[in-house]
Amino acid sequence: MRKIGVITDIHGNLAALTAVLDLLDREGCEEIIHTGDVVDIGPHSRECLELLLSRQDVTCLLGNHDRDFADNQTQVRNLSHVPSEHKQQVFATLTEELRRKVKSFPVYVTRDCGGSRILFCHYAFNPMPLGIDQYLFKPIDMYPTAEAFDALFDGVEADAVFFGHKHEPCDIKGNRLYVDVGSVGCHPQPLARAVVIEYDDTTWSYRRICAPYDMDSTKKDMLNEIKCGQHLYDFYFMLNTKK
């Protein structure tokens, strides 16, 4: 059986990224697909980008925070919880060479696995091409159903879609299978999450895996090294304040 590892929403959490990549390497994945949002929120956006780009087996897709970096867009988006001053600080640590590479990230890719077509993306996306002021992704459905996902992904030619953006895993079967992988390292548990797709010429399946990581070190760096770190940690990592 061949294997594809799927991860999403690293958001600058280097400790979580390192842990999950080690786990996927031990799994023997031939390819790792990150479905978007390498940067912002966590304390190590540059290091995470550089690590992913250094690997020949990783395919990076464009997330909304990645696109903001590519376009140097630091204005707070509607419904965003990431302040402008944080994005300004993060983007200042990233190079023009990294911006050029992020600009080249595709919005989606497809893979043929076991006779099925699987699409990978950050979330349901609006038709291309987009103007610089147009939002790339459709609004998040906070309480998704099969019918809602069928509407969001209407017109997508795939048997299954693997994505992220909402940070919370889900598995829903509608006109096709919808799998939110769940954020690697932007959620309240000290577990770096991933999905492994296994396939041969005629069949495919997937399973969820996770690796423990040192969340305390991530918290320390967030509070000490980045602007708005306390606010971001409280919102994205604390169980009592997670929205």
Interior angle at CA 73, CA 127 and CA 103, nearest 5: 60
The rounded percent of the chain whose pLDDT value lies above 90 is 90
Region 95-106 average pLDDT: 97
CA–CA separation, 86 and 26 (whole Å): 35
For residue 121, give the nearest of 64, 179, 61 by alpha carbon.
61
pLDDT of residue 126: 87
pLDDT digits (tens, 9 = 90+) for 147-182: 999 999 999 999 999 999 999 999 999 999 999 999
Region 118-135 average pLDDT: 82
pLDDT of residue 129: 67
The rounded percent of the chain whose pLDDT value lies above 70 is 94
The yes-or-no verdict on residue 216 having pLDDT over 80 is yes
Burial 143-160 (b: 16+ CB within 10 A, else e): ebeeebbeebbeebebbb
The yes-or-no verdict on residue 241 having pLDDT over 80 is no
Residue 51 near residue 195 (C-beta atoms within 8 A): no
The yes-or-no verdict on residue 242 having pLDDT over 50 is no
CA–CA separation, 196 and 1 (whole Å): 11
Token code pair at residue 99: 């911006």
pLDDT digits (tens, 9 = 90+) for 74-93: 987 766 789 999 999 999 99
